[in-house]
Amino acid sequence: MDCAEGSGKTLEEAQQAALAELGATADEVQFEILERPGPLTGLFRRQQEYRVRASRTPMTGESEAQEPSAAVEEIAISGDEQSAEVAEQMPHQELAEAGRDLLSRIITLMGVEGEVRIEECTDEEVRLNVVGDDVGLLIGRHGVTLDALQLVVAIGANREANEGVRVIVDAEDYRARHKDMIESKAQKLAAEAKATGREIVVPDLKAYERRLMHLALEDDPEVETYSEGTGDDRVLVISPV
């Protein structure tokens, strides 16, 4: 079985139900939000629970969804109540604009001055980037706040779209810089593994960071990478061939 659905009163409950049905861990799947509580427009009934679909990813590692803080969650609910009626099949450009507007409201309420730009809009992905002199508050320690904002905006922008579109929220290109840093670190550790002939164990990585390292080294014939462990103890291993 490659995918399973789950429901619950909270997003975490729905995700855990889907994981239990699928028999997988959170970093082995990609979540798609199918339904969420809140008023829906048109002829649709109000949904009282979250419903999600968990699909296995071909490679270990996927962004670990983090619950947003209570303050950010409250902002998202408020944004839902004030949202305008949209078509059942939302065009991706319209979805991108909805995400931009929601993110603009959130950062204003957080006291951050910045411009939200739509930097990419495709059938599969919408990328929003906040540009300004002081956007560090939006990033947080190790990008935790940025991940929470991304989750909230993704839920808000996708809530009435039939097909989920991945929404990426960035601030002054933090994610791009972080990606370059992770890939550079992977190359340095691979060189160390080849020079010493020993496996290198890399702890304390988020699932998407492990995936970036896997991808950065997949074409190197002199090393192989794999993940082992579960939950917070999961690590990446770089092994010389």
Helix (H) or strand (E) segment spanning residue 66:
none
pLDDT band at residue 84 under the 50/70/90 scheme = very low
pLDDT at 85: 44
Residues 124 and 184 in one domain: no
Domain membership flag for residue 63 = no
pTM for the structure as a whole? 0.56
pLDDT at 64: 41
Q: Which domain holds residue 78?
A: 70-172
Domain membership flag for residue 64 = no
Residues 156 and 235 in one domain: no
86: domain CATH number is 3.30.300.20
Residue-wise pLDDT tens digits, 151-171 = 999 888 877 554 567 899 999
Domain membership flag for residue 118 = yes
Helix axes 174-196, 207-217, angle to 10 degrees: 60
Mean pLDDT of the chain: 79
3-state secondary structure (DSSP) of residue 190: helix
What distances in angstroms separate CA 17 from CA 6, 9, 26, one per listed residue? 5, 11, 11
pLDDT at 130: 95
Domain membership flag for residue 92 = yes
Total domains in the chain come to 3
Q: Is the pLDDT of residue 67 over 50?
A: no
What distances in angstroms separate CA 213 from CA 52, 79, 127, 218, 228, one per listed residue? 28, 36, 22, 8, 14
User: Which of 121, 137, 172 is a domain's end point?
Assistant: 172
Residues 141 and 218 in one domain: no
Residues 192 and 220 in one domain: yes
Residues 86 and 128 in one domain: yes
Residues 168 and 181 in one domain: no
Q: Is the pLDDT of residue 175 over 70?
A: yes
201: domain CATH number is 3.30.1370.50
Residue-wise pLDDT tens digits, 92-138 = 788 888 899 999 999 999 999 999 999 988 878 899 999 988 888 89
For range 44-53, the mean pLDDT: 62
Residue-wise pLDDT tens digits, 7-31 = 887 777 788 888 888 777 777 777 7
Lowest mean per-residue pLDDT among 16-30, 133-147, 196-210: 16-30
Residues 123 and 151 in one domain: yes
Q: Is the pLDDT of residue 232 over 90?
A: no
For range 135-147, the mean pLDDT: 89
Residues 101 and 167 in one domain: yes
User: Which of 172, 200, 224 is a domain's end point?
Assistant: 172
Residues 18 and 41 in one domain: yes
